Structure 1
Amino acid sequence: MKSPETTSYPSSDQIEKIFLEVLDLRSELVGAVDTFQYYLDEVDENHVESARNLLHYLAFRSKDLRPLQISLAAMGLSSLGRAESHVMATVDAVANVLFGLSRKVRQAPALNNSTIKFKKGEKLLSEHTESLLGPAREGRGVRVMVTMPSEAADNFGLVYNLLQEGMDCVRINCAHDNVEVWMKIVKNLRKAERELGKRCRIIMELPGPKLRTGPLNPGPQVIKVRPVRNEIGRVIRPAVIWLTSENITHFHPSPKCTRCVLQVPDPWLQYLNVGNKIKLIDARGSKRVLSVVDSKDHGCLVETNKTLYLTPQTVLRISGTEADKYQTHVENIPHSEIPIILKPGDQLILTRNQSPGHPAIYDDVGIELAPAKIGCTLPEALDHVEVGEMIWFNDGKIGGVIDRIEDEEIIIRIKQSREKGRKLRGDKGINLPDSYISLPSLTVDDLNYLDFIAEYADVVGLSFVNSARDVEMLQDRLEKYGDKQPAIMLKIETKQGFHNLPSILLTAMRSHCFGVMIARGDLAVECGFERMAEVQEEILWLCEAAHVPVIWATQVLESVAKKGTPSRAEITDAAMGHRAECVMLNKGPYILNAVRTLDDILSRMQAHQIKKSSMLRELRLAREFTSIKRY
C-alpha cells in the first residue's frame, strides 16, 4: 500500500534564495528614496510619510514580481498583493518570516522601524479623505458627490432633498452657468445645511482648455413635442409642456415636466385655469388641442396625446373665446441645430475658426458637392497634430484619421461610427490621443474664477492636468489666498496626465490637502476603451500608495439619473466605485433616485470590500447551509 503524498515544501536552499530576493527588493525600495530625495525636500509635512511610501511603491512596481509572488504564496505567506498603503512594512514582514524559516541565514536583516505600519497607511488615507471631503456618514465610508444642475440655483427643495438623501459633496462645474447662478447654489446649500444640521463640501471645477466643436448653421425656430407610445403605437404617456411667463428671470417647471418649457406673455397666462383647452394649428397645418392639467403661480402644465410642431408663428387660443386678448404666440423659441451625420468613409473638415459649420452638401442626384465642415474652440491645439493620428468626437462616439493638414483646417476621414451614421453637434468634445499637446491647464477664464472659488468653495478642481508643471501653476496662484486657499482636486483625463501621474502626485504633495478625480469619460477615449479598466486600477493603486483620496467619476448610474432605471452593468460599475473614497453622480431629472440607489450600494459594499481586500463578513447563505441538520 502506497503512503499518502505529502505536500511539497521549499528546501532550505530555496527559502534562502527567496529570502535574498526579498532583501534585494527591499534595497531597491530604499534606493528609490535616496534617488528622489529632492521630491521629499519639497512636500508638505502632512505628506512626508506618504511621499516616501509612494516612492517605495513606484520602485516596488517597476519590477515583475509575479515569480516571487508565486513562490511566497506556495509557502502560505503574503504574496505582496496588498502592499499599496504600507509597502516597506509588507516587505519587512515577509523578510522576517523568511528569516525565521531559514536554517542557513544566521544574521537577522537590518530592518527600518520607522516605516509606515499596516494600520498607519489606512489611517493616513482616512485622515486625508476627511480633510478633503469631510467626515463620512455612519454606515458608509465612501462619499457621494453630485453635480449641480442649473435649476439648483432656484430650486431649494432639490438641494435640500439631495443633502437629506445622502449627498456629501456638491460639484459646481464652472464650464456652465455664471457667478450669479453659482452664488445662488451656494446659498441654497448653506441654507439646507442649517435646516438639516448636516455639512457638505463644495467643489468648484475649473473648465480648463477643453477642445470642443464650434457652432453649426442654425436651423428653423421649431420645437417638436410628442407623447410616449408603446410598440403598437398607443399613447402610454402624454406629451407634457410647462407654460411659463416670459417676464421671469428663471423658470419654475413642474416636477412632472422634464423636457419642454415654453414662454408665453404673462397677461395671457393669467387667464388659464385647470380644465381649460388651448387650440392651435401647428407648423404642419395639423389641428391640435392642449389640456390644462395644473396651474401654479409661475405657469401652467398642459398635456396632449398628439405630436405637434411649434414655431413663433403658432397661435395659441383659449377654447370658447374669440377676443384677441385670449390668444397669443409662443415666445423665444430657439433655432434648432441641424447636426452633421457622419458615416464610416465620410470626410470632415475641422477648421481653426468658429464660423458656423454645416453638413455635407449634395446636388439633386446625391453627388457630394462639399464635405461637412465644423470649427473648434481651441485652434492652437491643432498646431500639434500630425497626419495619420486619430481624432475622436463626442466622447469617442465618432472617430477618424487625419488625412491632410492645411493652414486653416485639417481634413479627416471618418473610421469609427455607426453604419447609418452618428450625429455630430456643436459644443461636443474633441480628443487627440495620439498628439502631444503642450497647453497650460489654466486658462484666462480659470484665473478669473479663482477669487470667487477661494471665497466660497472648499475645493478647486483643476481640469486637464497633463504634467507636474500644471499643478505648480495652480499652487503658485493659490498662494496669495493664504489660509483661505481651497484644497485641490486634480482631474486625470488625458493620456499625458496618466503617464505623468507619479510626478503629478509628488508635486501636489507640496499642498496641504488634495485629491484625484478619475475622469473616466475623456480618459477612456484618450487611452482606449479596452484599456480603461487597467488604467483606472493603476490610478487607484498609485493614489492609495500616496494615501490620496480618489473620486470615481463619469457616467455612474447615468441611466438612473436620466431615465429613472439602472442597467445591470451600471450597478456593478457603481459597486466597483466603492474602492475609491468618493463616487460622483452627474445631473439628471431623476438624480434623487440615483443618490438613493448609490447610497444603498455603497453601504452594502462596505461590509464586503475595502480597496482590493475582500472582507469575510458572515454570509447568510453559507450559515443557512451549514446549519442544516443531517440525519
Structure 2
Amino acid sequence: MNLQEIQGELQELELQMNKISLSFSDLLGHIHPENRISAENLLHYLVLRSNDIQNLQNKLHAVGLSSLASCESHTLHQIQVTLERLGIKSETVAKSTSEFGENKIKNSSKHLFGKPQKKWLSAVMVTFDSSFLSQPELIEELLKSGMSVARINCAHDQESVWLSMIQAIRRAEKNTGLSCKIHIDLAGPKIRTVLLKKGRKKGKVELKIGQKFWLSETEDDFEKDDLVVSPNESNIIESLRIGERVLFDDGMILCLVKSTDDNKALLEVVRISSKKPFLKAEKGINFPDTKLNTPSLTAYDQTCLPFVVSEADTVGFSFVRSPEDIQKLRAEMSQVSNSYPSVILKIETAESVRNFPSLLLEGMKDLSFGVMIARGDLAVEIGFERLVEIQEEISWLCEAAHVPVIWATQVLESLHKSGLATRAEITDAGRAAMAECIMVNKGAHTLEVLKSLREIAKRSQGHRRKNRLLFRPLGIAKSFFTVE
C-alpha cells in the first residue's frame, strides 16, 4: 500500500477545505459568533461529500487508519489527525474537534428540548390533542413516561384551546415536578383539493389511469360535467410546466402536467395506488418538481405569531423552502418581540432538500435552532424510495453543523393507533433513537408508544457509532457549491 498516495489525497482534501473557509469568509462573518466554528465545519463536510472518496476510505481502512466514516462533527480535524499518523503536521489546527461537536449538539439539544428524562438519551415530543384537556391524569403520565416537549399544531383548534393545553401542561409540571418545553408548529400553506364541478356534491370523484382533468382556481369556462380541481391557493397554476408531477392524497394519485393555458392546467392520471380510486375534497396536493410562488409564511401564520412568540419555546416553520423564508419569519417575530422562540426548520419539500445547506447556514445566524425531518410530506415530495437516503443525508449534514434533529412522522404509528407495532416500525424506531428528539403523532396508545420507544432506544443507542460508512458524493453538497 502506497502511504504517500494516501497522504497526497488527504492533503488535497485539507487544501480544498482551507480554501473554502477563505472563500466563504463573508458568509461566516454573518453567522452568530457561537456558531461560526460549526458553520465552518459544515462547509468542510460539504467539501468532503462533494468528492468521491470511497477508494481513499478503503485504502485508509486497509492500513489501519481512520476511514473518515464518522467525521461529520469534526471533518477537517479528523483529516489532520490522520495526517499526523503519517508524520505530517498541519500548519493550522481545526477548531471543531469531536468533543467540541458532541458538546455543541448536546448543549443545543438541552436548550431546545430540555434535559432528557432518566433512562432516555433522546428527548421526546408528544403531539397534543384537545381531548387531553379532559384527561389531566394522562398529561401527568406522559411526563412521567418521558415526554419533555409538548407539540401544539396551529393547523388545528384555535388560540383558546392552545392556551388551555399549555395551562394543563403547567399544572401537570407542578404536580409531577417534571418540566416540559412547548413547541408550536405554524400551519404553513395548506394546499388541498376543492372539487369545483363534477363530484362537488358528493365530495369525491372516481378516477381512472389515463384520464385527464383540469386544475384551475376558477370554474369559469368549463362544462358542467368537467372534472375541475382547485388547489385552494393562488399563484400555483401559473408556476406549473409541462411534464411536472402533481400528487394527490399523500401521493396515492400521481398525475403529470400535459398542457397549460392561461390560469388552468391539464393533468393526466398515470398512477393510482389506492384500492378505492377516488379523488376526494380536502386532500393534500404536492408539487415536487415545481418552484412555487406561494409564501411559506402565510397570512394565517402571521396572525398566530403573537401567541406563538408569547407562549412557545420553539416554533416549527412548516414548508420552509429558502433562506429568505427564514429571514421573513425572523422579521415578523421581531415585530412582536425582541426575544422570540428558537426556530425549528421543518424539512418536508423537495425544494427544502435542495436548499438544505443554505437553510442551515441561514439558521446559524441565530444562536439556537433545530431541524425536523417531517417525513410525511417529504416522502411524497421526493418519492418513498428516496426517503431512507434523504433522511440520512439530512442527519449527516445536521451533525456536521452541530444542529439537533427531530425525527418525526409515523414513528410507531400502528402501535399508536391499533396497539400493535409492525416489525418494520420497530426497525424505524431504532433509527429514530439516534436523533436528539423523537416526535410522536396523535393516537390512542401514546403511553404504550413511549414505553416501547424507551426500550428500543436503550438497545439501539449502544450501537450508535458502529457503522462504517463509505462516502460517495452527495448531490446536496455538490449543488451547494455550484449554486454559490
The TM-score with structure 1 as length reference comes to 0.70
Post-superposition offset of 1:389 = 1.3
**Map of 2:245 onto structure 1:** 390
Distance 1:141 1:372 in 2: 52
Query: Secondary structure of the equivalent of 1:348?
Result: strand
Deviation by residue 1:372-394 (Cα, 9 ceiling, x = unmatched):
33322213111100122111011
Classify 1:204/1:353 alpha carbon distance in 2 versus 1 (closer, same or farther; 3 Å): farther
Work out whether residues 381 and 437 of structure 1, in 8 Å CA contact, stay in contact via their aligned partners in 2.
yes
Classify 1:218/1:67 alpha carbon distance in 2 versus 1 (closer, same or farther; 3 Å): closer
Deviation by residue 1:25-48 (Cα, 9 ceiling, x = unmatched):
101111111111122111112211
Post-superposition offset of 1:201 = 1.0
**Map of 2:390 onto structure 1:** 535
Post-superposition offset of 1:160 = 2.3
Distance 1:44 1:573 in 2: 35
Quick check: 1:436 aligned with 2:416?
A: no
Work out whether residues 552 and 582 of structure 1, in 8 Å CA contact, stay in contact via their aligned partners in 2.
yes
Distance 2:128 2:195 in 1: 25
**Map of 1:163 onto structure 2:** 143
Distance 1:557 1:16 in 2: 50
Quick check: 1:42 aligned with 2:30?
A: yes
Deviation by residue 1:407-452 (Cα, 9 ceiling, x = unmatched):
3432221111148543332222101111111332111111111110
Quick check: 1:405 aligned with 2:260?
A: yes
1:196 to 172, 176, 182: 176
Q: CA RMSD in A?
A: 2.4
**Map of 1:314 onto structure 2:** none
Query: Secondary structure of the equivalent of 2:194?
Result: coil
Post-superposition offset of 1:371 = 4.5
**Map of 1:341 onto structure 2:** 206
Distance 1:398 1:441 in 2: 24
**Map of 1:79 onto structure 2:** 67
**Map of 2:216 onto structure 1:** 351
- Aligned residue type for 1:341: E
Quick check: 1:53 aligned with 2:41?
A: yes
Work out whether residues 217 and 338 of structure 1, in 8 Å CA contact, stay in contact via their aligned partners in 2.
no
Deviation by residue 1:518-553 (Cα, 9 ceiling, x = unmatched):
111111111122111111111001000000001111
- Aligned residue type for 2:292: I
Instruction: Please give the residue correspondences for 1:426-465 in structure 2 after superposition, counting only pairs within 5 Å.
Output: 426-465=281-320
Distance 2:208 2:170 in 1: 49
Query: Secondary structure of the equivalent of 1:39?
Result: helix
1:96 to 77, 84, 88: 84
Classify 1:371/1:354 alpha carbon distance in 2 versus 1 (closer, same or farther; 3 Å): closer
2:349 to 491, 494, 503: 494
Distance 2:54 2:245 in 1: 35
Instruction: Please give the residue correspondences for 1:492-531 in structure 2 after superposition, counting only pairs within 5 Å.
Output: 492-531=347-386
The TM-score with structure 2 as length reference comes to 0.91
Post-superposition offset of 1:612 = 5.1
Post-superposition offset of 1:513 = 1.0
Work out whether residues 39 and 507 of structure 1, in 8 Å CA contact, stay in contact via their aligned partners in 2.
no
Distance 2:280 2:416 in 1: 23
Distance 2:273 2:319 in 1: 29
Deviation by residue 1:556-579 (Cα, 9 ceiling, x = unmatched):
111111111111111111111122
Distance 1:354 1:571 in 2: 47
Distance 2:365 2:51 in 1: 28
Q: How many residue pairs get matched? A: 468
Work out whether residues 214 and 354 of structure 1, in 8 Å CA contact, stay in contact via their aligned partners in 2.
no
Distance 2:354 2:298 in 1: 22
2:405 to 525, 539, 550: 550
Distance 2:20 2:293 in 1: 29
| Percent of aligned pairs with the same amino acid | 38
Classify 1:167/1:612 alpha carbon distance in 2 versus 1 (closer, same or farther; 3 Å): farther
Work out whether residues 127 and 151 of structure 2, in 8 Å CA contact, stay in contact via their aligned partners in 1.
yes
- Aligned residue type for 2:182: I
**Map of 1:580 onto structure 2:** 435
Post-superposition offset of 1:139 = 2.2
Post-superposition offset of 1:217 = 8.9
Query: Secondary structure of the equivalent of 1:58?
Result: helix
Distance 1:442 1:611 in 2: 41
Gaps of 5+ in 1: 1-9, 100-107, 220-334, 362-368, 615-631
Post-superposition offset of 1:477 = 2.1
Post-superposition offset of 1:488 = 0.5
1:141 to 99, 121, 124: 121
**Map of 1:16 onto structure 2:** 4
Query: Secondary structure of the equivalent of 2:93?
Result: coil
Distance 1:139 1:37 in 2: 42
Classify 1:180/1:36 alpha carbon distance in 2 versus 1 (closer, same or farther; 3 Å): same
Distance 2:68 2:149 in 1: 34
Work out whether residues 578 and 611 of structure 1, in 8 Å CA contact, stay in contact via their aligned partners in 2.
no
Post-superposition offset of 1:191 = 0.7
- Aligned residue type for 2:93: N
2:187 to 176, 189, 207: 207
Work out whether residues 215 and 354 of structure 1, in 8 Å CA contact, stay in contact via their aligned partners in 2.
no
**Map of 2:228 onto structure 1:** 373
Distance 2:347 2:32 in 1: 22
Deviation by residue 1:157-216 (Cα, 9 ceiling, x = unmatched):
332222222211111111111101101111111111111111111111111123111268
**Map of 2:279 onto structure 1:** 424
Distance 1:348 1:190 in 2: 51
Distance 2:400 2:46 in 1: 9
Distance 1:408 1:564 in 2: 47
Post-superposition offset of 1:482 = 4.8
Q: Which moved more, 1:470-479 or 1:503-512?
A: 470-479
Work out whether residues 104 and 402 of structure 2, in 8 Å CA contact, stay in contact via their aligned partners in 1.
yes
Post-superposition offset of 1:337 = 5.5
Query: Secondary structure of the equivalent of 2:259?
Result: strand
Higher relative contact order (CA 8 A, sep 6+): 2
- Aligned residue type for 2:25: Q
Distance 1:419 1:542 in 2: 35
Work out whether residues 113 and 149 of structure 2, in 8 Å CA contact, stay in contact via their aligned partners in 1.
yes
Classify 1:157/1:383 alpha carbon distance in 2 versus 1 (closer, same or farther; 3 Å): farther
**Map of 1:184 onto structure 2:** 164
**Map of 1:258 onto structure 2:** none
Asked which structure has the greater CA Rg, the reply is 1
Distance 1:419 1:564 in 2: 24
**Map of 1:256 onto structure 2:** none
Deviation by residue 1:38-60 (Cα, 9 ceiling, x = unmatched):
22111112211111111111111
Quick check: 1:29 aligned with 2:17?
A: yes
Classify 1:442/1:423 alpha carbon distance in 2 versus 1 (closer, same or farther; 3 Å): same
